Amino acid sequence: MIIGVPKEIKNHEYRVGMVPASVSELIRQGHQVVVETQAGAGIGFSDEDYTKVGATILPQAADVFAQSEMIVKVKEPQAIERAMLREGQILFTYLHLAPDPEQTHDLINSKAVCIAYETVTDNHGGLPLLAPMSEVAGRMSIQAGAQALEKSNGGRGMLLGGVPGVEPAKVVVIGGGMVGRNAVQMAVGLGADVTVLDRNPAVLRQIDAQFGNRVKTLYSTADSLERVVKEADLVVGAVLIPGAAAPKLVSKELLEEMKKGAAIVDVAIDQGGCFETSKPTTHAEPVYIVDDVVHYCVANMPGAVARTSTFALNNATLPFIVALANKGYKQALVEDKHLLEGLNVYRGTVTNQQVAESLELDFVLPAQAIA
């Protein structure tokens, strides 16, 4: 199979779909890999690094798309990239379709085979290709929140951990999943006063067992959420419903009751965000202010630590890339029910139920679509 790796073009996105070591693995198994020039430059890999392991460097993304049977990316294809997809071509990347009708319709019209990292599952009910970026985003959320709280950025002018004689900032994490646990870990490490909310008692027990009395755990209800958000200096939105749009848990009315200069970090922004006032931002202009509350809503947070993120992502995606290349997409999908869960759009049909329901589109079971 010919696998293509284009350069990412989303604002301040420096990650790359495959590092040279991953390319080498595929070439050793008899496949061809074409890479757009400078695709890895953002994380320190030159074209020569790719050619040394056997890749072919192409001058433009159009050449990569035209020659490849499978495209491996990081972020969702932008409009100019979607126009280059063709019928039957495999697209393997993050998609986050539920809040993005324009992208969804373009992928439907392309008749490509679109497999989303974020809905591939595992034997434990987890999301193995989302997990590494959730770990990164969770940890980054506290760094970003700490900066948003600085006075020069419109924040309250607070240090998360305080200093001797001065109380620390109150950090509220909504959601105790992979993002939430990593956010809690960082916030606790910095000495903040941390509260985490979730609706799964098992998750709350796990966090309590890990952090003990350094973290307050609360069962999430409208009342408990409202109470702690009003008192918070920093709120991290870490709620995920696989494949579906994130629920709007903090209303504009509740936001108006938050402390002036408080900050929110909406890690769920890729799926539409869990704050009613959230809108996607970029690393170039990461924050904006609504009702004196600083909003950090960067839609590709891990792109800021692109090298760490790329290696972590490649570790998770490579086995699936190899399976798709070795077996072809039909056999790979039929033989692996977890990879099949990643199939979001198949040759003009939506095959993810959450996406279909969110966008009011027709849905076909993925196994039925490829049969």
Which residues are catalytic, by number?
A: 96, 270
Strand partners, 33: 3
Which CA distances in Å does 90 have to 181, 333, 361, 362? 33, 12, 22, 21
d(C-alpha 111, C-alpha 94), whole Å: 17
Distance CA 42, CA 317 (A): 19
Query: Nearest to residue 359, comparing CAs of 271, 293, 278?
Result: 271
- Return the residue matching tokens 């090298």: 307
Integer Cα distance of 201 and 369 in angstroms: 37
- With beta carbons less than 8 A apart as the criterion, state whether 244 and 217 touch: no
Within 10 Å of residue 143's Cβ, how many Cβ atoms? 16
Q: 350: burial class by Cβ within 10 Å (0-12, 13-18, 19+)?
A: buried
| Residue 197 and residue 228 in contact, taking contact as beta carbons nearer than 8 Å | yes
